[in-house]
Chain A
Amino acid sequence: MIPQSFEYHVPKTLEEASRLLAEFGSDGKVLAGGHSLIPIMKLRLAAPRHVIDIGRIAGLSYVREEGGTISIGALTTHYQLESSELLKSRCPLLPETAREIGDAQVRNRGTVGGSLAHADPAADWPAPILALDAEIRASSTRGERTIPAKDFFVGLLTTALAADEILTEIRVPVLPERGGEAYAKMPHPASGFAVVGVAARVVRDESGALAQVSVGITGVGAKAYRATAVENALRGKRPSPKRLLEACAHAADGVETTGDVYASGEYRRHLATVYTRRALEKAIERASA
């Protein structure tokens, strides 16, 4: 199918884009890489009357470090994040996650900002964004604001972004000394979406105990979440195999797991415990290297 008819706008600046979005309200939809929006428009599951293509706006695609924080422009593609030498050395969780997204074509066109704003419950980015306590910058005609990752994912395909806001930047802290991080994913064999995806970052202290531990999980519930029960069971402790196994049993505590024809809710709950353990094992190993 082809999309229902729409007006296509190509603003040259962020301000122009924000004005258009404010003008069209719920009739307007922002287009970035198009790999979430165009497929649903072609299926006529979404039919926005005005498409605001922000892909030509300069200055929204970058990866840079400023004093311990990495800033990423919303239009940076998954491929650019996958191949960023800066990220490979300063925040390797992001390139590792990017590599798992979709396929090469999707990674070449899809953007981290677009993916996050779409908030697919099985997308990869929400897991590391939550694990890293990222900050998300949003812009509108009303001004700019920062949304912490923990407040960003509100529900199924729903974020804290207001209808007139455009996601402009993501900020993440660099990997600290004695830190390690990893992304472990079970992809759906056809779509590549995460049946479960777990992002973990740990920081060890001198005794080898986990001074910091954070785990973000996608694919399991209606939205991505932090596995705080797992974190609380491990924080401040030495991660022996037995302790790790016991802690990871809580990976889906308090989560209403989603289910479909491929993987039931109970199966996803089980997978969450397995992949959380795998992600943590790798992160811990890397933190000790």
Chain B
Amino acid sequence: MKIEGTYRLVVARDVVWRALMNPKILARALPGCEKFETNPDGSYSAQMKVGVAAIKGTYQARVEILDVVPQEHFRMKVEGKGTGGFLRGEGTLALTEESGATQIAYAGDAQVGGVVASVGQRLMLAAARQIINQFFEAFRNQLPPG
């Protein structure tokens, strides 16, 4: 499944960048996050109860942040496994600044498997977009107002 999108924040880029690198903010932004830890190798481990409407499951996820270009760009690898299935994906996130606002552009490719992915395949893209938007809204709500 390929997914991409943008999210605009009326907040300076360096504020956005520091927040993206801040595990406390990420933990509160991740939808349904019940546990969040930074591992010794710098990756994150999270337990999330996430889904759409009545279709929710509990997932264990691991996120690695790689190829960091401060203020601009990073790559991430995500692995998740839980009650509805599993996911393995890679993505990129890029920040650009335009007159005091920051545009976040994300793009990713994931292999999904299990019940949610097979039976729910037709809903996956819309569900992924909704969950990503929930993340960005919760992320934005933790930033100082622009």
A residues lining the B interface (CB < 8 Å): 29, 37, 40, 43-46, 48, 119, 121-122, 155-158, 188, 191, 193, 221-222, 256, 258-262, 265
Interface membership of chain B positions 19-63, coded 1 if the CB is closer than 8 angstroms to chain A and 0 otherwise:
000000000000000000000000000000001111111000000
Q: How far is the CA of A37 from the CA of B116 in the complex (A)?
A: 15
Instruction: Assess whether B122 is in contact with A193, with CB atoms less than 8 Å apart.
Output: yes
The one of A46, A158, A221, A260 in contact with B56, judged by C-beta atoms closer than 8 angstroms, is A46
Q: Looking across the interface, which residue of chain A has its beta carbon closest to that of B122?
A: A260
Q: How far is the CA of A121 from the CA of B120 in the complex (A)?
A: 12
In the complex, the number of residue pairs spanning A and B with C-beta atoms less than 8 Å apart equals 60
Instruction: Assess whether A158 is in contact with B54, with CB atoms less than 8 Å apart.
Output: no
Instruction: Assess whether B116 is in contact with A156, with CB atoms less than 8 Å apart.
Output: no
| A44-B52 contact, Cβ under 8 Å, with A121-B123, A193-B122, A222-B130 | no
| A155-B130 contact, Cβ under 8 Å, with A121-B123, A260-B124 | yes
B18 at the interface (CB under 8 A from A): no
A44 CB contacts on chain B under 8 angstroms: 83, 115
A259 CB contacts on chain B under 8 angstroms: 125
> Given A157-B54, A157-B123, list of 9 further CB < 8 A pairs?
A44-B83, A45-B116, A121-B123, A156-B123, A157-B52, A191-B122, A222-B129, A260-B122, A260-B125
Q: Looking across the interface, which residue of chain A has its beta carbon closest to that of B3?
A: A259
B120 CB contacts on chain A under 8 angstroms: 45
B107 at the interface (CB under 8 A from A): no
Q: How far is the CA of A43 from the CA of B116 in the complex (A)?
A: 9
A48 CB contacts on chain B under 8 angstroms: 54
Q: How far is the CA of A48 from the CA of B119 in the complex (A)?
A: 19
Interface membership of chain B positions 110-135, coded 1 if the CB is closer than 8 angstroms to chain A and 0 otherwise:
00000110011111111101100000
A191 CB contacts on chain B under 8 angstroms: 122
Q: How far is the CA of A265 from the CA of B116 in the complex (A)?
A: 20
Instruction: Return A31 CB to nearest CB of chain B, in Å.
Output: 11
B residues lining the A interface (CB < 8 Å): 51-57, 83-84, 115-116, 119-127, 129-130
| A43-B115 contact, Cβ under 8 Å, with A156-B123, A193-B122 | yes
Instruction: Assess whether A262 is in contact with B122, with CB atoms less than 8 Å apart.
Output: yes
Q: How far is the CA of A48 from the CA of B54 in the complex (A)?
A: 8
- A-B residue pairs, 9 tightest by C-beta: A157-B53, A222-B126, A46-B54, A260-B122, A156-B126, A45-B55, A258-B126, A157-B52, A43-B115
Instruction: Return A51 CB to nearest CB of chain B, in Å.
Output: 11
A156 CB contacts on chain B under 8 angstroms: 52-53, 123, 126-127, 130
Q: Looking across the interface, which residue of chain A has its beta carbon closest to that of B131?
A: A156
| A46-B55 contact, Cβ under 8 Å, with A121-B123, A260-B122, A261-B121 | yes
B53 CB contacts on chain A under 8 angstroms: 119, 156-158
Instruction: Assess whether B122 is in contact with A122, with CB atoms less than 8 Å apart.
Output: yes
A262 CB contacts on chain B under 8 angstroms: 122
Q: How far is the CA of A92 from the CA of B45 in the complex (A)?
A: 55
Q: Looking across the interface, which residue of chain A has its beta carbon closest to that of B133?
A: A155
Q: How far is the CA of A122 from the CA of B126 in the complex (A)?
A: 12
Q: How far is the CA of A235 from the CA of B124 in the complex (A)?
A: 36
Q: Looking across the interface, which residue of chain B has its beta carbon closest to that of A264?
A: B125
B115 CB contacts on chain A under 8 angstroms: 43-45
Q: How far is the CA of A46 from the CA of B116 in the complex (A)?
A: 11
Instruction: Assess whether B129 is in contact with A256, with CB atoms less than 8 Å apart.
Output: yes
A256 CB contacts on chain B under 8 angstroms: 129
Instruction: Assess whether A157 is in contact with B122, with CB atoms less than 8 Å apart.
Output: no
Instruction: Assess whether B57 is in contact with A45, with CB atoms less than 8 Å apart.
Output: yes
Q: Looking across the interface, which residue of chain B has its beta carbon closest to that of A36?
A: B54
Q: Looking across the interface, which residue of chain B has its beta carbon closest to that of A256?
A: B129
22 sample A-B contacts, Cβ–Cβ < 8 Å, listed by A number:
A37-B54, A40-B55, A43-B115, A45-B55, A45-B84, A46-B55, A121-B126, A155-B130, A156-B123, A156-B126, A156-B130, A157-B53, A157-B123, A158-B52, A191-B122, A193-B122, A221-B126, A258-B125, A259-B125, A260-B122, A260-B124, A265-B125
Q: Looking across the interface, which residue of chain B has its beta carbon closest to that of A261?
A: B121
Instruction: Return A124 CB to nearest CB of chain B, in Å.
Output: 15
